[in-house]
């Protein structure tokens, strides 16, 4: 089976390429490298000892995407390509709406033209907005607080409408919670451009001495220790969730939460990181970050029941793997 992976050189995409190649899929990556490097794909090939066909293209460009579909018999698409920085999306909404929505439309049109019936989409827990935890796939989505989140909700809506009009078009909407960690080889991991937005790369950069102190955004949330609670998932568990989704994909639209199902506070994660690495993480507590919610964690029963998928890597492993990668770069 040949899978087109858009954004395959990025953080989640590159780990998913490993899982795909190890599961026997053939992989074509389309990435414009706006937030990644071609060397990452070389490392994926080094780890798996398998080949990737790479197109350096922008997936909002219909002609470039058409070329890939016309040159290969593609069986399925996993669409990771997109921008993901919530704060930046508030400052530059058009950039986010354009890239994240047009890329989805262009790819779905190519799927229709070339009769590709399997589509896996990178959605996000952000689409739940301020709902009650744990988030369930059956919940009515509340408005999100930023253009990034809206771009995911709109892309989901487009895919739902297209699939309802053409039920043979099988779509998995995968709502990721908070992916962290890195491949156990230490060769690939999360490499944010500039200052990190996410907690784990922030912690590892403080541990390495690149940043003096961790900033914790708010310790007055209605959570057990006052800091924000999130559902962390090892990026390799998340990657394997895509294989399960592809294998079990049936006609129509299917939404799945990919998370661990457990909430962990910022302070808990910092403590586990310190215990696993023996490195103290100094921190300051500052004001809450606009748009952040107190708690976010998944109900993961649907993915377990329908995809037979569940996480097998714990927080300690996430911390060790993230740190091994940070030390290597």
Ligand X SMILES: NC(=O)c1ccc[n+]([C@@H]2O[C@H](COP(=O)([O-])OP(=O)(O)OC[C@H]3O[C@@H](n4cnc5c(N)ncnc54)[C@H](O)[C@@H]3O)[C@@H](O)[C@H]2O)c1
Is residue 18 involved in binding ligand X (CB under 6 A)?
Answer: no
Smallest distance, Å, CB 33 to ligand X?
A: 5
Strands 264-265 and 229-230 come out as: antiparallel
261 lines the binding site for ligand X (CB under 6 A): no
The verdict on 76 binding ligand X (CB under 6 A) reads no
For residue 267, say if its preceding peptide bond is cis, omega within 30 degrees of 0.
Answer: no
Q: Which two tokens stand for residue 133?
A: 């935890």
Q: Does 179 bind ligand X (CB under 6 A)?
A: yes
Instruction: Kindly state whether residue 135 participates in binding ligand X, applying the rule CB under 6 A.
Output: no
- Determine phi and psi for 246, rounding to 5 degrees: -65, -45
The verdict on 103 binding ligand X (CB under 6 A) reads: yes
**Beta strand 214-217 pairing with 178-180:** unpaired
The CA distance from 105 to 238, in Å, is: 24
Here's the x/- map for ligand X, 203-242, by CB under 6 A: it reads as ----------------------------------------
Give the whole-angstrom CA distance, residue 120 versus residue 247: 11
Give the residue nearest to ligand X (CB).
10
In 3D space, the residue among 189, 161, 170 whose CA is nearest the CA of residue 245 turns out to be 170
- With binding defined as CB under 6 A, does residue 80 bind ligand X? yes
**DSSP H or E segment with residue 324:** helix 315-328
Q: Which of 96, 128, 148, 221 is catalytic?
A: 148
Catalytic, 148? Answer yes
Q: Say whether residue 274 binds ligand X (CB under 6 A).
A: no
Q: Which residues bind ligand X (CB under 6 A)?
A: 6-7, 9-13, 30-36, 58-60, 80-82, 84, 99, 103, 122, 124, 176, 178-179
């Amino acid at each position: 089976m040949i899978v087109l992976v858009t954004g395959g050189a990025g953080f989640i995409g590159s780990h998913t390429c490993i899982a795909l190649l190890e599961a026997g899929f053939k992989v074509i990556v389309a990435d414009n490298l706006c937030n990644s490097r071609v060397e990452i794909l070389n490392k994926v090939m080094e780890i798996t000892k398998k080949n990737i066909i790479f197109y350096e293209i922008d997936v909002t460009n219909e002609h470039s995407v058409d070329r890939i579909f016309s040159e290969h018999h593609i069986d399925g698409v996993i669409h990771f390509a997109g921008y993901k920085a919530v704060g930046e999306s508030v400052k530059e909404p058009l950039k986010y709406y354009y890239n994240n929505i047009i890329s989805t439309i262009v790819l779905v049109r190519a799927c229709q033209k070339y009769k590709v019936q399997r589509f896996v989409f990178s959605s996000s827990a952000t689409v739940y907005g301020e709902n009650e935890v744990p988030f369930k796939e059956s919940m009515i989505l509340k408005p999100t607080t930023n253009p990034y989140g809206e771009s995911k909700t709109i892309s989901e809506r487009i895919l739902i409408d297209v699939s309802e009009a053409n039920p043979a078009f099988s779509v998995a909407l995968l709502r990721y919670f908070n992916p962290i960690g890195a491949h156990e080889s230490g060769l690939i991991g999360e490499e944010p451009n500039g200052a990190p937005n996410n907690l784990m790369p922030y912690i590892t950069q403080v541990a390495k001495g690149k940043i003096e102190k961790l900033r914790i955004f708010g310790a007055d949330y209605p959570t057990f220790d006052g800091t924000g609670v999130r559902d962390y998932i090892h990026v390799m568990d998340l990657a394997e969730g895509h294989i399960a989704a592809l294998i079990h994909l049936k006609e129509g639209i299917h939404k799945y939460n990919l998370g661990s199902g457990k909430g962990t506070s910022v302070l808990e994660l910092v403590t586990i990181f310190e215990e696993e690495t023996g490195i103290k993480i100094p921190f300051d507590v500052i004001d809450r970050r606009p748009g952040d919610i107190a708690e976010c964690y998944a109900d993961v029963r649907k993915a377990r029941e329908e995809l037979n998928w569940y996480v097998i890597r714990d927080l300690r492993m996430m911390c060790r793997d993230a740190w091994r990668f940070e030390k290597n770069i």
